[in-house]
Amino acid sequence: MPESTPVNRDLFDDVMVPNYAPSKVIPVRGEGSRIWDQQNNEYIDFAGGIAVNCLGHCHPALVNALTVQGNKIWHLSNTMTNEPALRLAKKMCDATFAEKVYFANSGGEANEAALKLARRWALDNHGEEKSHIIAFKQGFHGRTFFTVTVGGQPAYSDGFGPKPGDVFHAEYNNLDSLKALISEKTCAVVMEPLQGEGGIISPTDEFVKGVRALCDENNALLVFDEVQTGVGRLGSLYAYMDLGVTPDILTTAKALGGGFPIGAMITTTDIAKHLKIGTHGSTYGGNPLACAVAEAAFDTVNTAEVLDGIISKSKLFVDALNQINDKYNVFEEIRGKGMLIGAALTEKYKGRAKEILLAAMDEGVMTLIAGANVCRFAPSLVVPDEDIKQGMAAFEKAVAKIAAN
Ligand SMILES: *Cc1c(COP(=O)(O)O)cnc(C)c1O
């Protein structure tokens, strides 16, 4: 590359596959919930790298784990196991319903493993007929071809040729629609215990418990995709812990690595045994560097100090959004749980969530959207209260601009 080639947003259009439309802002440094761009403009980060940076940027415990492990050993492949992976897996088993862990590198891959395991479990135990997978409309489970097919958004799965078969979609929070699809042929029901990408939709108590009961009646596995909700996001270590329902398989990624790519599928010994030697795998999955960082993130999040703080911080966001709404009347509903909050736009502002996001960026606060009609906040679980106040003041300015025209 010639010395003189400027590294800016234009270069993206020159050299990158055009499947993303990134912001014009190019961040170069972060600390806690603050980010600085190439021009040294400062931003407050309520996007958290899409619910990934659970401890903000450059958290000392994560930087330490990364540098300590970085000076020991980075990668081995699964022909050998390693200490960080074993320690992390043990901690995950101790803290959850699970007895066995499979490491992947992303949420989509963790789900891919869960789906393949469910199919194999059903084949071994019940035969070829039991191959149906039921998921929910508006659900999101990743971008591999199997997971995007299981996801409930045809816009993401259409246009790539024939899809993996025997995948069906029920309506979220509608037990009757699940009842109409589920049968002895169902091998798994896959759900998010709060739909994230689909618009920040919480399940009703009746629904989650009803899904569990229907799975039991039909000998189907219940798979919770906790890629977005897991590792403290909703205020408990995993969302299932607060719902009175235990899944058979759970997937976790995003916040698990606090910013380092890692994913995991966790399950019971009895189910896990169906992924026999050679049935599935990954070159990088369970890589020592990733597991060392994830272990530090897991240890830090799984403390009363961090988890208890989420409730009060969540309330600061919700109160600020309600106050903004009292003035500008742009939101129909403020919803979500813990540090995953959605503000759904009223009819008048429908389709304008991205505009608000861009206006907020101009005011110095990074946010997310969940579809065209929902502003989404997925900040660090330890975002300082002062940053919440300043960030929401900046967000209010953005809303004021949109409301004015
Ligand atoms: C983000 C997400 C995924 C996909 O994770 P990747 O790491 O992008 O593969 C899967 N499921 C849910 C619920 C998610 O939010």
Domain ranges of the chain: 9-58+304-404, 73-301
The model's pTM is: 0.98
Distance CA 250, CA 98 (A): 8
Distance CA 155, CA 19 (A): 14
Using alpha carbons, list the distances in angstroms from residue 164 to 78, 130, 157, 306.
28, 15, 11, 41
Say if ligand 1 is within 6 A of residue 136 CB.
Answer: no
Say if ligand 1 is within 6 A of residue 338 CB.
Answer: no
∠ Cα 282 291 82 (to 5°): 75
Write the DSSP symbol of residue 129: T
Nearest to 379 by CA among 87, 53, 24: 53
Task: Work out the pLDDT band at 4, boundaries 50, 70, 90.
Answer: confident
Classify domain 9-58+304-404 at the CATH class level.
alpha beta
∠ Cα 253 259 261 (to 5°): 50
Say if ligand 1 is within 6 A of residue 226 CB.
Answer: no
Distance CA 358, CA 365 (A): 9
CB 139 within 8 A of CB 170: no
Classify domain 73-301 at the CATH class level.
alpha beta
- Residue ID of nearest Cα to ligand 1 atom 9: 108
- Residue ID of nearest Cα to ligand 1 atom 10: 141
pLDDT one-digit tens code per residue, 297-332: 999 999 999 999 999 999 999 999 999 999 999 999
Mutation to probe ligand 1, out of 227, 250, 256 (largest number of atoms < 8 A from CB): 227
pLDDT one-digit tens code per residue, 220-255: 999 999 999 999 999 999 999 999 999 999 999 999
Cβ-based burial of 374 (10 A; exposed 0-12, middle 13-18, buried ≥19) = buried
Q: Which two tokens stand for residue 353?
A: 């969530």
> Does the pLDDT of residue 13 top 80, yes or no?
yes
The mean pLDDT value for 168-193 works out to 98
Please tell me the distance between residue 227's alpha carbon and the centre of ligand 1 in angstroms: 5
**What is the reported pLDDT for 405?**
75
**What is the reported pLDDT for 2?**
73
**What is the reported pLDDT for 233?**
98
pLDDT one-digit tens code per residue, 94-150: 999 999 999 999 999 999 999 999 999 999 999 999 999 999 999 999 999 999 999
> Does the pLDDT of residue 1 top 90, yes or no?
no
Q: What percent of the chain has pLDDT over 70?
A: 100
> Does the pLDDT of residue 24 top 80, yes or no?
yes
**What is the reported pLDDT for 15?**
97
The mean pLDDT value for 8-15 works out to 97
